[in-house]
Structures are given as C-alpha cells and as structure tokens.
Amino acid sequence: PGSTRSRDVPSSPLSPHSGCDDLIGAVFELGRTLCRLQLSDEELALFTAAVLLSPDRPWLTETKKVQKLQDKIYVALQHEIQKKHSAEDKLSKMVSKLPLMKTICNLHLDKLEFFRLLHPETAMNFPPLYKEVFNSELQYSDPRGS
C-alpha cells in the first residue's frame, strides 16, 4: 500500500521513461570527456564556433566559404592552445569528439521526429528559435493535414 511501481507510472514526454536514455547518456559522456580536457573559456568558444560552422550540413549552398571560415577558427583555436602552453594533443582530442557530437545530433533529431509524431500539438508550439534551428531537419506541419 502506498508504493508505486515504475510500470504503473504513466510516461510523460519528458519523463525518464520516454526512451531518451541513449541520448541523455551520450550527452553526459560528451560532457565528461570535454570537462577532462579542462578547456579555457576561449578554447571552448572557438571549439563551439568550429562545430557550429560545419560545412557538411546538407542545406548549405556555399560549403567552401563555410569550410574556409571553419579552417580559420581551427587555426585560431590551435593558436590559443599553444599560447596557453596546453598539451600538444589537446586539439586532436577535441576533434576526436566530433563523431560523438554527430551521433548525439542524429539521436536528437530522431527523438524530435518521434516526439513530433506522437505529440504534434506540442511540437507545433515549440519556441520559434528551436523551430528555426531544427526546421531544416524536421517539418512542424500538422500531420492531420489541417
């Protein structure tokens, strides 16, 4: 009496039972490995810029310009690492996280699409910035055709 078994707990979209354990685990693993690198604010900002300026996005029209900009960011990042006298392999360790980041991105998009199909009304009410960021990957149209 008075106890609730986990199978009796209804699953909300954001509950631990929502099927996002793989995504959440990957995000925390990435966080742990990046924390171990002890990045300075400048290094983190430059690495973030390099990741965001990815020329392999399918909807880009001028990938060469984006690639050149990303290359400049990586040069600045390498300079920052050398200036701080950090470990020589720090940049390669950072870059080695890119496949995990891509996996996380793909998992996130899969979860968003699944969520959009299960809860179209909620997905249509996502914040405008969120819709803008993910609109090239997902469609937020009403699946009922209204």
The number of residues making up the chain comes to 146
Proportion of the chain above pLDDT 70, given as a percent: 77
Given pLDDT bands bounded at 50, 70 and 90, which one contains residue 19?
confident
User: How confident is the model at residue 4, as a pLDDT?
Assistant: 44
C-alpha span between 131 and 22 (Å, rounded): 23
Q: Which two tokens stand for residue 134?
A: 């993910």
Q: Helix or strand or coil: residue 33?
A: helix
What's the Cα-to-Cα distance from 130 to each of 44, 67, 73, 92, rounded to whole Å? 22, 25, 25, 31
Predicted TM-score of the model (pTM): 0.67
**Which tokens go with 98?**
């890119």
Confidence (pLDDT) at 135: 61
Tell me which residue of 100, 91, 85 sits closest to 46, measured CA to CA: 91
pLDDT of residue 85: 76
Q: Taking residues 76-105, what's their average pLDDT?
A: 88
